[in-house]
Every structure is written in C-alpha cells, then in structure tokens.
C-alpha cells in the first residue's frame, strides 16, 4: 500500500520523507488556507521533496474553468495530480485532462456508483472519504470494500483507490486488508502508527540492561 501525506505543511512532509514514509502528497484548498502561504509556491516545494503524485485541487466549479486551472497546476511540476470534485463538470474535466496525459484525482467520493463513474472518466485516483461517512453513522470501510471489489471485476479500469479522510490507524489497517491501493494520512495519524506501549516498554528494558554493562558502541 502506498502512503500519501495529507497536508500542505512542507516541514512535516520533509520529515516523513526522510523516514521513507511518503509515496505522494494530497492537498486541498482548506489545507492550503491553513498553511497561510501561496498555493503555487507550496505545491512546487512539495513536488521537489517527493517524486510521487502531489494532488493540487482546482477551485472552479465549471468544466472549462477546471480544465484551465488543471493545466495551470500541471505547469508547476510534472508530478502534479490535478484534483477535481466528483460532479458532472468534474468528470468532464477529468476525461479531458486524463486524455491530455494528466494524473487526475477525483475527490469527495461517497458512493460506489460515483467511484465507477470516475473510473470510466479516466481518473488516476478515486478518493472516498471514510471518516466523513463514519461521522454520519455510515460505514466508510464498506464503501472501500465495494469500490475495490467493483474495480477488480473489470480489468480495464485502472483507477487506484485512494482512501481519504483517515482519522485513525484502524482506518488504515482495514483499508490495507481490503486491498486499497493508497491511503492519504495526516502527519499525526502516520505518527500514531508508530506507537505501541509494548514497543516503548521493550526499548526501556533493553536500554536499562545495556546501561548495566557499562559499555559503549562508539
């Protein structure tokens, strides 16, 4: 499974990349606004950190506007993936940009039917939002299972399932078990994956025993 980092904070991306935990990055207008920086500058810096796909989202709502913005975003770096919403206009833009060779991430997916439409439009990635479904007492993981199964039924569909709105490690583990291709995780959730009390306890014991020997490796 590929790990994308869901943030526009360059320092976090660089830190996680040093540990080999970054296969790509996803951003959106809310994350860009939170960073307080110029969008194109941020995207360019992120693209320089990772050679993987970096999703940059359009803000137009009509197909022509999305296509124009998508072309401008692609000009920032070759690894930009244009992010479009799962609307009819978004799918028109997806088809046009994909036919022009762009990577396209279709976002705000909440049903398997929507995911099938995005795949037929040529999406590189489909982004189902599991956390937001859980928030309204729906089953986010059921959606992932349905999309993965549908895509497996048709080998001509090349769209990858990119699990989004991941709130905790269980979302990630369950998505991996179901066969999702990618998960995009906020930096704090990636770091949560590292934590286990038995790891901490074991390390403390090893270091205490080593200290008793009076030795030094260097």
Q: Which residues are catalytic?
A: 83
Q: Locate 44 and state its tokens.
A: 């360019």
Vertex 33, ends 190 and 93: CA angle to 5°? 90
Which residues fall within 8 angstroms of residue 126, CB to CB, at 6 or more apart?
105, 106, 109, 115, 118, 119, 147, 159, 160, 161, 162
CB-based burial, 55-83: b 16+ in 10 Å, e otherwise: bbbbebeebeebbebbeebbebbebbbbb
As a whole number of angstroms, the distance between CA 215 and CA 211 comes to 7
Helices (H) and strands (E) in the chain, counts: 11, 8
Residue 59 has φ and ψ, to the nearest 5°, of: -120, -10
């Amino acid at each position: 499974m590929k790990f994308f980092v869901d943030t526009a904070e360059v320092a976090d991306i660089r830190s996680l990349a040093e540990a080999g935990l970054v296969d790509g990055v996803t951003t959106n207008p809310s994350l860009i606004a939170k960073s307080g920086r110029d969008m194109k500058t941020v995207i360019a810096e992120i693209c320089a950190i990772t050679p993987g796909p970096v999703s940059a989202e359009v803000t137009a709502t009509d197909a022509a506007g999305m296509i124009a913005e998508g072309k401008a975003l692609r000009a920032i770096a070759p690894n930009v993936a244009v992010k479009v919403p799962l609307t009819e206009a978004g799918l028109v833009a997806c088809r046009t940009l994909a036919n022009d060779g762009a990577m396209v991430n279709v976002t705000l997916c909440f049903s398997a039917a929507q995911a099938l439409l995005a795949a037929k439009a040529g999406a590189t990635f489909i982004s189902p939002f599991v956390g937001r479904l859980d928030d309204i007492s729906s089953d986010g993981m059921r959606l992932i299972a349905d999309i993965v199964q549908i895509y497996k039924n048709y080998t001509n569909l090349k769209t990858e399932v990119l699990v989004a709105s991941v709130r905790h490690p269980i979302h990630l583990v369950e998505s991996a078990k179901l066969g999702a291709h990618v998960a995009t995780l906020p930096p704090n959730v990636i770091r949560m994956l590292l934590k286990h009390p038995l790891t901490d306890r074991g390390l403390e014991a090893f270091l205490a025993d080593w200290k008793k020997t009076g030795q030094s490796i260097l």
